[in-house]
């Protein structure tokens, strides 16, 4: 336990997290990693001849802490559990700015803004998943939010050889498509004023159904960081933007509070839908309060 504590303290220092995160990690996330380690070992016993890694999907709305959790899990799997792991963020698979411009011109203007299903390169995701499943060396894309565009290939993440565990995190990763009837009524002013005929939300929903859901079959286990409500997203997103500003300075793509209010409307429909539905599919559920404290955890054995 002393070694584990020191490793978590190192991660806290590296990520500039509050010291209280140590207790959170030990109480909630060590049991999570222990359980996944056990699942991975059992999975390996049934797939002796296969290099296929154990895939973990992590869902959480903006600012819920999914990236921090993914990083911690990967760090502990590498340094404490003796596994080779890699983290993939759904954000890193956004289409380039030029590709989204083309979508905006040919499908709907709202697709210029990154975020929703339909603005990610799911073919690239599929190729990356297949390479990881086959144990191949590969490069994983990186998206630079400060310039709202994909980073050059020289900055992509290099993965050499087979890995034991793949962690995939994203705000809508694991979310299932809505029934078409649910799309009829706008959920906010963005949909009412900029998507009055429902073209954008229908495109997003169809992309979720046809492009994203088939990739879910790679996942061996799902983790859900469940926010108390969509109302928490604004405060959490503001915190994210402040961190980004500290990291990159006064870049032109750092959003103001007013811009954040508009931006989160792009996410509202599927975030609310996810909060109501994902726990039916998730294996590990962590319920959060408005301060992102975990108030309860649940495990659904499958």
254 CB-near residues (< 8 Å, 6+ apart): 146, 241, 244, 245, 248
Cβ count within 10 A of residue 81: 18
Unique residue bearing structure tokens 């809508």: 172
92-136 tens-digit pLDDT: 999 999 999 999 999 999 999 999 999 999 999 999 999 999 999
253-293 tens-digit pLDDT: 677 888 888 889 999 999 999 999 999 999 999 999 999 99
Q: Which two tokens stand for residue 185?
A: 């009524």
What's the CATH architecture for 2-299? 3-Layer(aba) Sandwich (3.40)
216-250 tens-digit pLDDT: 999 999 999 999 999 998 888 887 777 766 766 66
146-202 tens-digit pLDDT: 889 999 999 999 999 899 999 999 999 999 999 999 999 999 999 999 999 999 999
pLDDT at residue 44 above 90? no
E-strand ranges in 32-114 read 54-60, 85-89
Count, residues in the chain: 302
Q: Are 84 and 160 in contact (CB under 8 A)?
A: no
Q: Which two tokens stand for residue 57?
A: 């999907």
pTM for this entry = 0.93
pLDDT band at 49 (very low <50, low <70, confident <90, very high): low
């Amino acid at each position: 336990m002393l070694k584990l504590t020191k490793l978590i303290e190192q991660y806290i220092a590296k990520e500039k997290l509050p010291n209280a995160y140590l207790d959170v990690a030990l109480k909630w996330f060590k049991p999570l990693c222990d359980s996944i380690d056990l699942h991975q070992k059992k999975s390996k016993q049934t797939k002796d001849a296969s290099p296929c890694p154990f895939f973990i999907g992590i869902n959480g709305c903006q600012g819920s802490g999914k990236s921090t959790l993914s990083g911690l899990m990967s760090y502990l799997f590498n340094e404490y559990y003796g596994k080779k792991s890699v983290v993939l963020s759904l954000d890193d698979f956004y289409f380039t700015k030029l590709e989204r411009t083309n979508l905006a011109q040919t499908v709907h203007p709202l697709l210029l803004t990154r975020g929703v299903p339909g603005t990610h390169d799911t073919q690239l995701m599929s190729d990356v998943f297949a390479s990881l499943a086959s144990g191949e060396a590969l490069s994983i894309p990186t998206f630079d939010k400060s310039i709202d565009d994909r980073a050059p290939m020289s900055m992509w993440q290099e993965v050499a050889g087979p890995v034991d565990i793949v962690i995939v995190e994203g705000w809508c990763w694991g979310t299932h498509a809505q029934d078409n009837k649910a799309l009829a009524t706008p959920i906010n002013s963005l949909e009412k004023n900029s998507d009055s005929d429902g073209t954008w939300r229908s495109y997003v929903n169809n992309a979720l159904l046809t492009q994203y859901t088939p990739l879910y079959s790679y996942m061996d286990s799902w983790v859900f960081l469940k926010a108390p409500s969509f109302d928490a997203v604004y405060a959490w997103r503001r915190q994210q933007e402040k961190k980004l500003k500290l990291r990159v300075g006064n870049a032109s793509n750092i959003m103001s509070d007013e811009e954040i209010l508009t931006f989160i409307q792009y996410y509202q429909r599927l975030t609310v839908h996810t909060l109501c539905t994902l726990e039916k599919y998730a294996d590990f559920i962590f319920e959060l309060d408005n301060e992102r404290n975990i108030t309860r955890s649940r495990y659904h054995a499958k």
